Amino acid sequence: MTIALLSGFMIGSLNKVWPWKKVVETFTDRHGEIKPLVEANVFPGTYEQITGNQAFLLWAIVLAIFGFALIFIIENIANKLKK
């Protein structure tokens, strides 16, 4: 049950933590620096085309799997210690 709740929380917050974004609108802050105001999520391939930077998709997948596995292991250890 807890794993499902954590997974739902992660999926729900994916929009905020999505690393591949396209800047739609910018603003200049009081120090004169240009900052993104509105960003749109894009697919990794689109991100590479827009920015010319590598998307590191394989690393993102590997680290996501590692994170889920780590949560699963910690939950199992906690359940065993609780009993």
38 found inside a domain:
yes
What is the rounded radius of gyration, in angstroms, for the C-alpha atoms of the chain?
18
Q: Tell me: the pLDDT tens digits for 46-78? A: 999 999 999 999 999 999 899 999 999 999 999
DSSP conformational letter for 33: -
59 found inside a domain:
yes
Predicted TM-score (pTM) of the model is 0.68
Counting the structural domains of the chain, the total is 1
Q: Tell me: the pLDDT tens digits for 12-53? A: 788 888 999 999 999 999 999 999 999 999 999 999 999 999
39 found inside a domain:
yes
Cα 76 to Cα 1, 31, 72, distances in angstroms: 12, 49, 6
What is the span of the domain harbouring residue 44? 18-82
7 found inside a domain:
no
Asked whether the beta carbons of 55 and 47 are under 8 A apart, the reply is yes
3-class SS of residue 38: strand
